[in-house]
Amino acid sequence: MDLFSEVYGCYYTVIARLLEKAQEGISKGEIETLINSQAFCDSAFHLLPKLLSGEWNLLEKKTDGRYYALPKLTNFKRPMTTLEKAWLKALFLDKRILLFVTNTELEALNTALSDVEPLYYPENFHVFDSAADGDPYDNEEYIQNFRLVLKACIHRQGICIAYENSKQKQVSRTLFPYKITYSNRDDKFRLLGVLTAQNGEHKGITLNLARIRSVTLVDALPFRNIDFMKYFTQSLNSEPILLEISRERKALERCMLQFASWEKQTEYDEENDYYICKIFYDKQDETELLIRILSFGPVIKVLGPEGFLNQVKERIRNQYQLNLGDRVI
């Protein structure tokens, strides 16, 4: 089946969900709500007449005023494309896959896709400037702790953990997990949660998953009224970083990949044949952005803001002096 078949479009998906719900009857208002929430803003204008008039022969209006699906199917899930299967097969080769599926599940999935070639192999990627002390993804204790923390995040449960602090002492913490984040540069997962201090006050906390020694699920009641956004909402800097990106050495593609996790606006300046990119960022990410931008060398020019530009100049000046010192020696 073609990748760009209409089967993979928005209309097929919304009609499939509509027919699933219409097995037990659905009102006109519910149909409109479903289409408006899962399709485009003008989709109801095109779809409703064809559905309700019977032109598509998919719905039948009965005496109770509700619409019922004429196809008596219960599963309208679309088939996967060959490309999607290949992508999934590639994921099975990822070193982190056992954090999300068991060995038995992975074996069953590999068997189901035994005739599919992976879309890519891990060795196809060469990662630069990545930490050498990444998380131990093949450690059984780490895997079990990760799964319990993930379960607590999904089901909104509290956890009690034994955590090894920076002084290599184990401390016990009861906290409510908010979400797990991953740093590609550090190759580490981190847990963002809210901790209850001894005085009863709450505070946001970030923990390395690899330092958690044990996890126990506990009652989430003490954390029920916590406003997580208060602790973890990013406050963007008032001025975005402004970059001039040349067309040399695939600089634009590399930038889009390197800064994928930040909000951006990019425009092509046809007259000068370069791209202008604005990166909106949290102040706490400034140092990491500075390091990443400098790693691009001359294919990127920092235009502002002034404070960030001064930091770039200072880093380059220091590096130049270090190099000059080496030559003198």
* Per-residue model confidence as pLDDT tens digits over 10-59: 888 888 888 888 988 999 999 999 888 888 777 777 788 888 888 888 89
Q: With a cut of 70, which residues of the chain have pLDDT below it? A: 1-8, 74, 76, 129, 198, 220-224, 234-235, 325-329
- Other C-beta atoms within 10 Å of 3: how many? 9
This prediction has a pTM of 0.66
Strands 158-164 and 67-69: unpaired
- Cα separation of 313 and 189, whole Å? 32
The amino acid sitting at 46 is: H
Q: Where are the alpha helices (DSSP H) in the chain?
A: 10-21, 28-38, 43-52, 82-91, 103-112, 140-155, 228-232, 251-258, 286-294, 306-328
Predicted pLDDT of residue 301:
94
Predicted pLDDT of residue 329:
42
Residues 6+ apart with CB under 8 A from 57: 70
Question: Do 168 and 148 form a contact (C-beta atoms < 8 A)?
Answer: no
- Cα separation of 22 and 70, whole Å? 9
